[in-house]
Structure 1
Amino acid sequence: MFTLTHNLKRLSVAWAIAMACGLAGAAPVQPGQPLPALQLKNQHDQAWQVTPQTRLVIFAAGRKASNLVMEVLAPQPAGFLGSRHAVYLADMSRMPGFVTRTFAMPALREQKFEVGVSLDEKTLSDWPREDDAVTLIRLENGRVVSHEYVRTDAQLRAALGL
């Protein structure tokens, strides 16, 4: 009896540890943790990355969020994001392929700023997001300091120092 009870307790502890590790892996963008490495391309099909100098990741995972980012960034001069140690990352994985190829990517190629593009549904699935909001992920030396959600051009402009 003692052995069975003891083994069940050990199994319970092991299960709890495994679950905790699984949950930690399910949300990789957490304060204090390094930002997960990404192997993505930009709108010109060139390698794109978040560099160690990056201080802000502007992450859009839906149409409204993308439109908000475009509204704020489109009028800015070339080099604007770099001057603020910021990058723009768009999750376009839920967009139909035909729409992505025919409309979205050609429109992005016309922009003066670089956009990291994710077309794989799993790549950014655990990244923090809220409906109709842009996620701002603040970094320091490649580690996540915080993340917040913005829904208005005034909030995004303020975050970019405009």
Structure 2
Amino acid sequence: MKKLLLILMFSILSFAETLNVGDTFPTITLDDQFEKTHTISLESNKVLVAYDKSMSTILKEFLLAKEDDFLTKNKTVYIGDISGMPSLISRFFAIPKMKKYPFSILFLDDKNRNAFSKKEDFISVYTLENGKVKTLTHVSSKEELENLFK
């Protein structure tokens, strides 16, 4: 019984840890605003994670100024955390509005929302190389986003 409790405790703790530089990027499957399921590819170069509305707005404005296939061409994934939003608001207002965007926004769910580094009022940017986290930076402006893709 003690072994079972220890295994369970370590499983929970290891799942709750955030990704750090040098970590292998886990296989994560998320749904987007079009109800399409995506598995983040180990061939992705960047993963952008926005945790609040203001950072999502900056990221959205940055992407809307780019070509429709900007994320695909740059092997980049955009993840948004709408878990704190009331489900009625997300279902009837936010997600239908997001369906107008020419790019996918993957949504964090309860089982993996703590996997990513969250810094208040910043977008977390994971740069990946060979399936591992090469760098983790936090940006908060369109200019900083632009510099990431130069």
Fold similarity call, TM over 0.5: yes
From 53, 56, 79, the equivalent of 1:89 is 79
Where do residues 130-141 of structure 1 align in structure 2 (5 Å cutoff)? Answer: 130-141=119-130
Where do residues 12-161 of structure 1 align in structure 2 (5 Å cutoff)? Answer: 25-118=15-108, 120-161=109-150
Instruction: Name the CA shift for 1:76/1:23 in 2 (closer, same or farther; >3 Å).
Output: same
Question: What is the alpha-carbon root mean square deviation over aligned residues?
Answer: 2.1
SS at structure 2 position matched to 1:114? coil
Aligned residues: 143
TM-score under structure 2 length normalisation: 0.85
Conserved? CA contact 1:28–1:36, under 8 Å: no
Which has the larger Rg? 1
1:57-107 deviation digits (Å, cap 9, x = unpaired) = 011111111111011001211111111111101111111111111221112
TM-score under structure 1 length normalisation: 0.80
Give the match for residue 3 of structure 2.
none
Structure 1 Cα separation of the partners of residues 48 and 129 of structure 2: 15
Give the match for residue 9 of structure 1.
none
Shift of 1:20: 9.3
Shift of 1:121: 3.0
Conserved? CA contact 2:33–2:106, under 8 Å: yes
Structure 2 Cα separation of the partners of residues 44 and 156 of structure 1: 25
Structure 1 Cα separation of the partners of residues 133 and 38 of structure 2: 19
Runs of 5+ unmatched residues, structure 1: 1-14
Conserved? CA contact 1:58–1:86, under 8 Å: yes
> What percentage of residue pairs aligned between the two structures are identical?
24
Instruction: Name the CA shift for 1:72/1:20 in 2 (closer, same or farther; >3 Å).
Output: same
Runs of 5+ unmatched residues, structure 2: 1-5
